[in-house]
Amino acid sequence: MRVLVLLRLAARGVGRNARRSMLTAAAMVLGLALLIFSRALSDGGHEQWIDSAVRMGSGHVAIQAPGYLETGKLEHRLDGEQVGVAVEAIESLAPELGVLTWAPRLSVNGLASSAASALPVRIEGVDPGREATFSDFESKLQEGRYLQAGDGLHAFVGAELARRLDLEVGNRFVLTAQSASGDVEGQLVRVAGIFRTAVMELDEGLVHMPIETARSWLGTEGAATTVAVLVEPSVRTDGVAAQLAGRLGSDTGVRVLGWRESSPDLDSAVRIDDYGDYIFHIILFAIIALAILNAVLISVLGRRREFGILRAMGLTGFETGVVVFIEGLLLTAASGVVGMVLGFAFTWGFFRDGLDFSGLMDSEMSFSGSVIDPVIVPFFQLQQVLVSVYFILIIGSLASLYPALRASKLDPAEAMKFEQ
Amino acid sequence: MSGTTVGPRWNRHLAVLGIVSLLTAPPVAGQTAREILEEVDQLLRGESSQGLVTMEIVTAHWARELEMEVWSLGIDHSLVRVRSPAREAGTSTLKAGQEVWNYLPRVDRTIKVPPAMMMGSWMGSHFTNDDLVKESSIVDDYDFEIMFEGDRRGVEVWEFELIPKPEAPVVWGKVEYQVRKSDLMPTWVLYYDESGELMRTMTFSEYRSMGGRLVPARMDVVPSDKPEERTSLIYHELAFDIGLDESFFSLRNLRSSR
Amino acid sequence: MASDGMWWRVAWRNLWRNSHRTWITASGLAVGYFASIVLIGLTDGMSAELVENGTRLMVGQVQVHSGEYLPERNVHHTIGGYDGTDVDALLARIEESADVEHAAPRLFGGGLLSSGELTQAALLLGVDPERESRVSTLLSTLTDGRLPVPGAFEVLVGSEMARQLEVSVGDELVIVAPAADGSMGNDLYTVAGVFYTGTPGIDGNYAILPVVDLQYLMAMNPGRIHEIVTTVTRSRDTPAIASALGQSLSQGNLQLDVKPWTELRPELAEALALMDSMNLLIVIVIFAMAIFGVANTMLIGTFERRREFAVIRALGTTRRGVSRTVVYEGIILGLISLLIGALVTWPIMVWWHNTPPDLSQWFEGFEWSGAQWRPILRVEYSADGPIVTALALLLTTVFAAVYPAWKATRVPPADALADR
């Protein structure tokens, strides 16, 4: 078969009618660019939800004692030795796994009382140095400062809690909780700083204190309820969790949890939103496919005469079809490249720093323990981009198939008739 | 469910259950504030008492009067039983160590007050359940200073300023306490938060001899943010060293109505 | 100058002269319409789901309280003060309003639930079981047992509360609550049922009993309630309905405070605003693609007809005449396509709306800003969306046809005929 000839004919067919080719290609280019844009935006949104929730929650990966997730009780804690083993395992992970940082936490439920009132709270003993980079409460600071290395009787409290207890920076208040021995113990602390996160449960019920103070108060030397690990990007969570579980083994009596297990609410939220995106993308794909198909079909209809000439020049019906198909492939390939570049350029050029929805909100808001930042920063995942490109190529190829079929079945005599 | 306040334990203790025990220290000339209070604190421990008390509670929404019988042993144990009104007769509260139990005769059940409710009001008064349980002693928690010594409206008094020690698990910023020099009877206690705002006022009056000791038979507590509200305790009978031991403060005894 | 009717006839005949092209273009339009309507319907369905779940479970759409009740929710501030009010008369007055569907009374309290050795603090909610079932879904969440019978000392507890207290249907429960007269109300109750709402704050904290039983426990007379919850006919107009209801109720001697859900749950209203804006972005993307597809197909189709226009011009038709035909063609084509689109779209939408697919097999429900999200993919439709979409697509069709036609008619007929 005269493949080269057909190829040349196809190339000439694309080039000769530049306007028509451009219009057909435009459908694919725009479709792909929109896909890349919307995908990056929704992935960026998810990444931000997850990041926000796990930083304030128990990390992308949490190492805990069995039973802690279900009960949240101090009796299910990691002792000093287990904490050491866990930390060693985390530190030994390869850097390319994407582990950003880790932080130990010792959490109990208790009561915070001031001269004005008393309220139930979640008390988290944290390592101030590590926590500062982990949960990023620094950026939620309203007054005072976050905990620092060397702090003793300091506490970092939610703004709503501080308001209800009538506390200001420097004020004393008493935390009461059941210690490891089962006795109810009081611990004096002073407000070092006040934060506001927009997550109501945190603002009205979370207290951070230095983990060493918490350990001696609760009689749990060296212990932690969770060793939280931060991973970037979040898709590496499962890899890191599997590696850690492998290294820690089953005999250490610890449990390794990914954020999907430790925050099922967030998991459902992301999955449902993903599902919404799938529907949206299916609809978008369908429209793109139809736009391409229509563009190609219409141009085939208008080119009957041209095909008639090809046939008259000695090409078989099949070869005519091949020419049309190759034309479609050429257009699709070119559009794929241009669309991808355009999609990146558009998203990167205009929304590198995020698409700002803040004009639509009076204040920050939250769901499932995550603060929703009204500015969505696009997040490109190579895999997602490739999937989009792949789909466009498939659609483009399929859309060229039918016109090719039609062109091959054209009756040359009929086609050569003068315009209808 | 208004959570009111926590106080340094003896004040609370004094306020609610064992008020009189505190006031048994004989006046000794030349003692420092700390020595006086330490002695009082020592006396408290191991002392048993029994009394009959009326509790008047006035709030913005209702007022009521309860007549109660009270037993106590030192600072760790006490038992309170309501005698009237009839609707609530037999309702009892047991404090043993850090736990508080209620007995409800109407449903014949004992209920342990859960940690989350420790800040709830005790019997609708301006005391919380937690007020009954706080354990540590005043001498351990506060630094003392005599901030005034002399004549107040014709009475020679001491006025102490109690500042919580830096690490003491105490919510107050400052406590002020006035005592008559002549007989060591307290006249008032003022509780402040850290910004110096008065949170609650406790006043003593009607000093009488009961069970062989001089005691203020009446005490009123007024929360500063609601000055129209108050809880008053008025003692009618009191006896000391009645030979109770820890076994008296049992769940079984809590249930037994008499 | 020929009559207008003639141009319409010419346009009509032109359309069917090349029926292939017409059908291809029409299909693009119809699918674009379908996709846009389905997508708008889906996003509206998601919002409606959130509003309804956020309000139907507990909040209702409009709440009536004593003017003093909010925000402290002091137990003593019942409607009508210490004496209460004629609840039935007030409910009747509220239900007189044409916009109010149903109304139900509620009484709140706090107390202890105790079973055996176990005791938990609880929020007590007194309801009229029959009326409550009409304004909220709370009582329909029973997983076990039945509704409590008024006066029989029966209570419903949340699933988490039941777990904590280790009780099930038929077990006895002591409820202790501070009463309105300062006494400690206490009575023995039977667990009539266990409910599971999926919202942890409700399942772990609430006990529900008939309002008369709670009034008795709290030593309140039968005229004392804290809240009247109503549902309204048009949830979108809740703020207006609430203020109208407030106006009409202010004529009595009761000091009443009437609030719409947007004020009771501002964070939900904000969450919806944000979601709406993100959905708008998605709708714009889909819409842009649909319009582009239609425009593209029209453009190519019209360009392909240059020769045809040239012939018509050569035969003496004015440029205005050609343009007019093309506009009419576009209008006819657009109307036919949209009619087809609507005929396909609407039955599907109605069917979808009435039998939304339940995805709970694949997804768990989750909480979003305090609103429970059922994994149901539902659609909602409104009048304006389809009309705006149809108009936009019609205009697109016409403009996309006229522009190339207008340009084509400027080319000297000879050049066009020679395909230069």
- State pLDDT tens for residues C121-161: 899 999 999 999 999 888 988 999 999 999 999 999 999 89
Q: pLDDT: is C411 or A199 the higher one?
A: A199
Q: Specify the DSSP element, H or E, that contains C126.
A: strand C118-127
pLDDT at A266: 75
Of C120, C180, C187, the CB nearest to B114: C120
Which of A119, A173, A184 lies nearest to residue B171, judging by beta carbons?
A173
Core vs surface per residue A46-62: b (16+ CB within 10 A) or e: bbbbbbbbbbbbbbbbb
Residue C7 has pLDDT above 70, yes or no: yes
A116 pLDDT tier (thresholds 50, 70, 90): confident
Q: Is the pLDDT of residue B18 over 70?
A: no
Which one of B100, B111, B112, B251 would you mutate to disrupt binding with C, by most C Cβ within 10 Å of its Cβ? B111
Helices (H) and strands (E) in chain A, counts: 15, 14
Average pLDDT over residues C101-125: 91
In the structure, what pLDDT confidence band is assigned to residue C230 with cuts at 50, 70 and 90?
Answer: very high
CB distance B111–C174 less than 8 Å?
yes
Q: Flag if A188 and B115 touch (Cβ within 8 Å).
A: no
pLDDT band with cut points at 50, 70 and 90 for residue B20: very low
Any alpha helices (H) in C250-364, and if so which ranges? 261-264, 266-304, 306-314, 319-354
Which pLDDT score, from 0 to 100, does residue B10 have?
33
C358–A contact, CB cutoff 8 A: no
Could you tell me if A398 and A289 are in contact, meaning their C-beta atoms sit under 8 angstroms apart?
Answer: yes
Beta strands in chain B (DSSP E): 48-58, 63-73, 77-84, 92-96, 99-104, 109-112, 142-152, 155-164, 174-180, 186-192, 198-210, 213-223, 230-240
Query: Which of the four pLDDT bands, split at 50, 70 and 90, describes residue B206?
Result: very high
Nearest to C57 by CA among C227, C225, C195: C195
Output the furthest CA–CA distance in chain C (Å, rounded): 104
Taking the C-alpha atoms of residue B106 and residue C219, their distance in angstroms, rounded to an integer, is 15
In this prediction, residues C260-284 reach a mean pLDDT of 76
Interface of C with B in 91-120 (CB under 8 A): 110, 112, 114, 117, 119-120
**pLDDT tier, A369 (very low <50, low <70, confident <90, very high otherwise):** low
Half-sphere CA count of C316, side-chain side, radius 13 A: 2
The per-residue pLDDT for A334 is 86
Section C163-173 average pLDDT: 93
Q: At residue A47, what are phi and psi to the nearest 5 degrees?
A: -60, -40
Contact C186 B107 (CB under 8 A): yes
Local confidence band at A374 (pLDDT 50, 70, 90 cut-offs): low
Summarised one tens digit per residue, pLDDT across range B145-177 is 888 888 999 999 888 898 998 888 888 899 998
**Is residue A388 over pLDDT 60?**
yes
Q: Each residue of A310-351: pLDDT tens digit?
A: 788 888 888 888 888 888 888 888 888 888 888 888 888 777
Average pLDDT over residues C177-196: 92
For all residues of chain B together, what is the average pLDDT? 79
Identify the pLDDT of residue B4.
Answer: 30
Percentage above 90 pLDDT, chain B: 24
Tell me whether residues C304 and A20 touch, CB distance under 8 A.
yes
A370 pLDDT tier (thresholds 50, 70, 90): low
- The predicted complex's ipTM stands at 0.80
**Inter-residue contact C156 to C192 (CB < 8 Å):** yes
What average pLDDT does range B178-182 have in this prediction? 85
Q: Which stretch of A253-257, B80-84, C17-21, C113-117 has the lowest confidence by average pLDDT?
A: C17-21
The answer to whether C374 and C361 have CB atoms below 8 angstroms apart is no
pLDDT band at C73 (very low <50, low <70, confident <90, very high): confident
Tens of pLDDT, residue by residue over A213-239, are 999 999 999 999 999 999 988 888 888
Does the pLDDT at position C216 exceed 90?
yes
What are the start-end ranges of the H helices in A219-316? 237-248, 259-262, 264-302, 304-312
pLDDT surpasses 80 at A277? no
Least confident range from A85-99, A234-248, C142-156, C368-382: namely C368-382
Say yes or no for a CB contact (<8 Å) between A118 and B199.
no
CB–CB of C368 and A419 under 8 A? no
Quote the CA–CA distance of C413 and A306 in Å, as a whole number. 20
Helix (H, G, I), strand (E, B) or coil at C234: coil
pLDDT of residue B25: 42
Whole-number Å distance between alpha carbons of B86 and B97: 29
Share of chain C above pLDDT 90, in %: 30
Q: Looking at residue A217, what is its pLDDT?
A: 94
3-state secondary structure of C135: helix
> Which pLDDT band holds residue B21 (cuts at 50, 70, 90)?
very low
Q: Which two tokens stand for residue A199?
A: 């997550």
| pLDDT confidence band for C201 (50 / 70 / 90) | confident
C299 has a chain A CB within 8 A of its CB: yes
Minimum mean pLDDT range among A165-179, B57-71, B220-234, C275-289: C275-289
Mean pLDDT computed over A36-41: 81
| Distance (Å) of CA C55 to CA A198, C140, C269 | 21, 14, 11
The pLDDT tens digits for C35-60 are 888 888 887 887 777 777 778 888 88
The answer to whether C219 touches C57, Cβ cutoff 8 Å, is: no
The Cα-based distances of A265 to A1, A238, C48, C363 in angstroms read: 61, 18, 20, 11
H or E, element range at C206: strand C206-210
Please check whether residue C351 touches A, CB under 8 A.
Answer: no
Minimal CA separation from B71 to chain A, in Å: 24
Q: Is the pLDDT of residue A357 over 70?
A: no
- Mean pLDDT lowest among A248-262, B42-56, B201-215: B42-56
Summarize pLDDT for A163-185 with one digit per residue, the tens: 989 999 999 999 988 888 877 78
The whole-chain average pLDDT of chain A stands at 82
Rg (chain A; Cα; Å): 31
Pairwise CB contact (< 8 Å): C363 & A268: yes
Angstrom distance (rounded) from CA B238 to CA B258:
19
Of B85, B111, B121, the CB nearest to C119: B111
Helix extents (H) in chain B: 9-16, 33-44, 129-133, 138-141, 251-255
pLDDT score at C47 = 75
Q: Which residues contact C369 (CB under 8 A, 6 or more apart)?
A: A365, A366, A367, C50, C54, C267, C268, C270, C271
- Contact criterion met (CB below 8 Å) for A311 and A320: yes
Residues from chain C contacting residue B63 (CB–CB below 8 Å): 182
Cα gap A406→C346, rounded to integer Å: 33
For residue A228, which phi and psi values (nearest 5 degrees)? -95, 140
Dihedral angle over CA of C342, C343, C349, C352, nearest 10: -160
Helix (H, G, I), strand (E, B) or coil at A304: helix
Give dist(CA C366, CA A272) in Å, integer: 9
| Beta carbons within 8 Å of C118's beta carbon, 6+ residues apart | C164, C165, C166
CB-based contact B36:B25 (threshold 8 Å): yes
Quick check: B61 contacting C, CB < 8 Å? yes
Interface of C with A in 306-345 (CB under 8 A): 307-308, 311
pLDDT of C334 reads 87
Q: Is any Cβ of chain B less than 8 angstroms from the Cβ of C303?
A: no
CA distance C420 to C418: 5
* C299: chain A residues, CB-CB within 8 Å: 23
Interface check for A72 against chain C (CB to CB < 8 A): the answer is no
Sign of CA dihedral A281, A283, A286, A290: negative
Q: Confidence band (pLDDT; 50, 70, 90) for A420? A: very low
- The per-residue pLDDT for B3 is 31
More confident residue, A34 or C215: C215
Instruction: Give yes or no for a contact between C149 and C156, defined as CB atoms under 8 angstroms apart.
Output: no
d(CA C47, CA C51): 6
**What's the mean pLDDT in C347-374?**
72
End-to-end alpha carbon distance in chain C: 31
Which range (A300-309, C299-308, C363-372) has the least confidence?
C363-372
B211 close to A (CB below 8 A): no
Task: List the 134-163 stretch of B: residues with Cβ below 8 A of A.
Answer: 136
Q: Is A7 on the interface with B (CB under 8 A)?
A: no
Cβ of C164 under 8 Å from any chain B Cβ?
A: no
Residue of B1, B170, B194 for testing the chain A interface, max A β-carbons within 10 Å: B194
| Portion 8-47 of C in contact with A at CB < 8 A | 17-18, 20-21, 24-25, 27-28, 31-32, 35, 38-39, 42, 46
